[in-house]
A and B are shown apart, each in its own frame.
Chain A
Amino acid sequence: MGFEQSSIGINESTLTSLAYICYLAAFIFYAVHLFTRSSRVVRVASGTVAMAGAGGGTMDMTMSGGGRSESMLARKQYSPMLGWVGFGLVLLAWVSLTTALGMRWVESGHPPYVTLYEISTMLVWGTTTIYLILFEGVLKVRAAGAFIVLLIFCLQSFSLWFVDPSLKQAVPLVPALRSYWLMIHVSFAIIAYSSFGTAAGAGLTFLAKYNLKGKLSQALPSTAAIEEFMFRAVAVGFPFMTLVLITGAIWAQEAWTKAWSWDPKEVWALITWLTYAAYLHVRVQRGVRGITMAWLSLIGFAIVLMTFLGVNYLTAWFGIDTLHSYPVDNGTPSSLSVASLVVVGIFTVLLGLALFSWLRIKFPMPGKARKDK
């Protein structure tokens, strides 16, 4: 895949490919695990608890909660083995990708934040990391795994297959990038965008729950719960997105003489930030929950892709000057157009799904009741 073979057996290329295969396998395991998961709902501490009371009387305690009809808490309900295999595969993918990126870092002497190939791979790595920490770790939901891993797989397909092979080589840093702000600023961006990526994966899960029937839908948590997980992922991303803007401004003030110069990349980062601010507002101010949030998170991530990857194509598409761009081709127009088609493709699919679900609520099919209330 365009890497130079190194003398050691395990090189960056094999590790990256291993991760790619693991993602595909993990997706399959996660998906099958959803279909085979028992639909038995384990209720945690709900129902009636009888207690011995004085004088031979009984004291009763009953609990009920909004999410409990299909409990948010009842998450220990998977058919465990397949899910654990999927989890193990994601972990393996993460380890090999971490090693591959680490090797690249050591070899080039700077973080792998510099070329289109590097940052798109970092986005894959980051989304996996956030998924593992937030979803598998903190929230302990595996149900969104299939969809998030699918998204990760698509992203890695972009970086492996559609970025011009000649751009996979590490390049030396130009003077403007030789700053510790590179590390800080881009790291924040990766955390933010990766969180938004997992939120979009949760959004896809939401759509599946909302639009599909049968076993798959039954195996997924309630829409209210998925919506909450989506929000948690956005809540991780938003402060980091804010930090991206701050650190970017500080760095620009040092390196480009001006904190804010309406460079396309800056503008798109601002648009991303505004989009997620809108997401939070309709949720917090209006109390909107559910499908609206799902399509907002998909639109949001489509915009993230535009900010992180698509902006690099603006020069080619519209003749725009930007200081921020990574080279997208080495004079081979074919790879440029294929890669940009993929960006546009993912973008369109996300927007299309968003539009589709919006139309479904606006113009519901006769005789079909909405499920999520």
Chain B
Amino acid sequence: MVISHEGTFDELPFYPPERSSSRFGACWQGLSASMAERVSQVARRARKPPTPVPTPLAQDRGRPQRDFIETVWVLCCSVKFAVVQNIALALAAMLGTIIPQMQPGISDSAEAVDSFLADAHTRYGDLTGFLHWAGFFDLYNSLWFRMLVVVVVFSIVICTMNRWQPTVRLITRPMVKASDGFMSGLTEKAQFTSVPLETAQVDRVLRGAFKKGRYRVVSDTSTDGAVISLYADRDRWSKMVTFVSHAGLVLLILTAAGMTQIGWRERSVYFMPNEPVNVGHGTDFSVANVGWNIDYYPDGTTVKEFQNTLAVYENDTQVLTKTIIVNDPLRYKGVNFFLVSYEPVLFAKATDASGTNIPLRLMGQNGPITDTVASGEVLVDFPYSSDDNLPLDYVQLAGPDHTLTLEITYYQNVTRGPGENPPAYVKAYVDQNFDSTIYDGFLPRTGPLTLPGYGQYDFNFRQSTATILEVAKDQGLELVGFFFTIMALGFTISLYTTFTRCWAKIVPNPEQEGTVNITLGGLAEKNKVAFERDFEKLALRIRDGLTSETNNQEVENGI
């Protein structure tokens, strides 16, 4: 503990000065002898303000030179540095809340990064390049931010190592005999003068009073037996709680950092109705979206809740179904399926006059129409959006003479009754004639869509909903939770328990033979108001004890 009165802040010393220097010892058994010696040396010097040593080098100004390890050690133990780290971390974190950050997943795709940067350029201009280079757009994953966290963790560890031994000494080998100077510097004091009792009787009264106040008592009698020093303390274990809670904090950060390395996460996985999805990553099961429901508040437009029923298949057998909502994901074999969002999709089907399915093609992700669905229904999932920001997609039918292209816009907010066609708006083009439409309007309310001049084809549409899930395997969450709990409990306990110490000295009264003087002093590190009352109770209890002991003695003596 560095007690310092530098600066002009009002600081009170907490630990009695006698405690501030101590030696390192048994706690380093685990380390090699030389390393242990080194560490203990450094720690010793770090705790003890260096004594001025005459040195030939003028610029040393009387300070012994510190080597690198020592400098780092001293730095990590300094509260000022801890506060600087704290502020640096806070400021850095703050920056991330005022500079737009790349959302997770963006950094995986060069294209997405470019478009993000183009966006940022409108705000930051020429600074954009620098900000990107320095990691400000992905601040929390940047090297320098991580280094900052590493420094904090490192400091906590060093700081704890530094404080371990003095703390253990403080509670296992307390200073029993307090000097008069020390006693007079304590915050709480009481004095009893001319107490007409034997030293041993007083000792008994004091012990009784301390025990009643939950103190444990250690005593020391001077060689001639005339002076008795008593030391009493309470809740000394609370000093150790700090170590537990900080260890919890360090382990929490370490596990959380390690966790992100071992888990995996797939953002935005589309679950089309009834199409099983295998999420990969070595999983041996697949999951399908087999049911969908959405509830609205009475106003009819505000979404109250949406539910997605998932079925889990192993070797083509359904092993489980669960209906998930935003606040209740599916967990199966350690993999979590979180419901994130949903999107309307259509199923489109074309038939000829004889009722045979005609192959349809769908616009590929990258523009040209590539995907061909040989037969049956094609899933229109609207990867594009219209000028009005409505979901948009293209479907193509390659006939023997002409190619028909349907541009489908989905009017999500238009309601249609049960059994009616979905509210889709269709523009149809022939071949490359994209300047003129052969059909331009909503789907008919009921029945198939037919295009003028191409009556042999029937287009049928069916409405459905795809769900968008995030699939992730997170490992070690329980462990993180455990450390968090330890830490939180630890902090709470250390805030509400106070290591409290009292000293008492019983000396013969030089002015009146047969009586003794008692000095009593107390020190609490926290919650001084409570201790003030507590100490008062203690003193009054001692007074009452002394009084009744005196009275008993008088009775015994027949006075």
Contact = CB atoms under 8 A, between A and B. Distances in A.
Interface in A111-157: 139
A66 B528 contact: yes
Interface string A64-95: 11111000110000000000000000000000
A343 to B, nearest CB: 15
Given A239-B491, A285-B79, A275 B90 contact: yes
B495 A175 contact: no
Interface stretch (A28-36, A52-60, A327-335, A344-352): A52-60
A270 B148 CA distance: 15
A267 B79 contact: no
A55 to B, nearest CB: 6
A59 B193 contact: yes
Interface string B77-104: 0010011001101100110111111011
B398 interface: no
Given A232-B527, A246-B485, A63 B190 contact: yes
B529 A286 contact: no
Task: Select the residue from B192, B193, B480, B529 with max chain A CB neighbours within 10 A.
Answer: B529
B69 interface: no
Nearest to B196: A54
A338 interface: no
B303 A174 contact: yes
A373 interface: yes
B11 interface: yes
A255 B339 CA distance: 8
Size class of the contact patch on chain A: 35 or more
Q: Name which of A257, A280, A321 has the most chain B CB atoms within 10 A of its CB.
A: A257
Nearest to B103: A321
Interface in B166-209: 187-196
A235 B495 contact: yes
Contact of A59 (B86, B525, B546): B546
Interface string A300-343: 00000000000100100111110000000000000000000000
A169 interface: no
A243 B4 CA distance: 34
Given A288-B9, A292-B9, A175 B325 contact: yes
Given A61-B539, A175-B304, A260-B256, A284 B526 contact: yes
B374 interface: no
Interface residues of B, number: 91
B471 to A, nearest CB: 9
Contacts of B103: 321
A257 B337 CA distance: 8
A178 B559 contact: no
Nearest to B553: A54
A166 interface: no
Contacts of A250: 481
A53 B194 contact: yes
Contacts of A107: none
Given A228-B528, A238-B495, A59 B550 contact: yes
Interface string B96-115: 11111101100000000000
A136 B319 CA distance: 60
A1 B205 CA distance: 68
Contact of B477 (A58, A238, A259): A259
A249 B259 CA distance: 15
B329 A257 contact: yes
A239 B497 CA distance: 13
A264 B372 CA distance: 45
A22 interface: no
B98 A274 contact: no
Given A239-B488, A274-B89, A320 B9 contact: no
Given A58-B194, A255-B327, A318-B99, A65 B485 contact: no
Nearest to B152: A274
A51 B515 CA distance: 14
Interface stretch (B34-42, B281-289, B424-432, B530-538): B530-538
Interface string B519-559: 00000011111001101100110010011001001100001
Contacts of B90: 271, 274-275
Contacts of A320: 97-98, 100-101
A265 to B, nearest CB: 9
Contacts, number: 228
A172 B12 contact: no
A287 B5 CA distance: 10
A280 B527 CA distance: 13
A291 B10 contact: yes
B539 A288 contact: no
Contact of A61 (B100, B190, B470, B491): B190
A286 B525 CA distance: 11
A287 B536 CA distance: 23
A284 B526 CA distance: 8
A173 B101 CA distance: 27
Contacts of B98: 314, 317-318, 320
Interface string B138-159: 0010000000000000000000
A103 interface: no
B338 interface: yes
Interface string A271-305: 10011011011101111111110000000000000
A178 B295 CA distance: 13
Given A73-B533, A242-B488, A278 B83 contact: yes
Nearest to B495: A235
B336 interface: yes
B548 to A, nearest CB: 11
B529 A72 contact: yes
A355 interface: no
A5 interface: no
Nearest to A45: B536
Contacts of A176: 326-327
A275 B90 CA distance: 8
A65 B189 contact: yes
B11 A175 contact: no
Interface in A163-191: 172-176, 178-179, 181
B327 A254 contact: yes
B100 A319 contact: yes
Q: Which of the listed residues B302, B325, B528 has the most CB atoms from chain A within 10 Å of its own CB?
A: B528
Contacts of A281: 79, 82-83, 86
B487 interface: yes
B340 interface: yes
A40 interface: no
Given A259-B477, A314-B98, A63 B532 contact: no
A372 interface: yes
A90 B482 CA distance: 41
A60 B191 contact: yes
Nearest to B295: A175
A178 B326 contact: yes
B75 interface: no
B188 A65 contact: yes
Contacts of B79: 281-282, 285-286
A231 interface: yes
B325 to A, nearest CB: 7
Contacts of B553: 54
Interface string B294-330: 0001010011111000000000000000000111110
5 contacts: A53-B196, A62-B190, A245-B484, A262-B101, A280-B495
Instruction: Return the 5 tightest CB-CB contacts between A and B, nearest first.
Output: A66-B187, A264-B97, A290-B10, A239-B492, A257-B338
Interface of A: 44-45, 49, 51, 53-55, 57-68, 72-73, 139, 172-176, 178-179, 181, 224-225, 228-229, 231-232, 235, 238-239, 242-243, 245-246, 249-250, 253-262, 264, 267-268, 270-271, 274-275, 277-278, 280-282, 284-292, 311, 314, 317-321, 361-362, 364, 370, 372-373
Given A63-B189, A238-B495, A255-B327, 17 more contacts: A49-B543, A53-B550, A54-B196, A54-B559, A66-B528, A67-B187, A175-B303, A175-B306, A224-B528, A238-B492, A257-B340, A267-B93, A268-B94, A268-B97, A271-B93, A287-B11, A288-B10
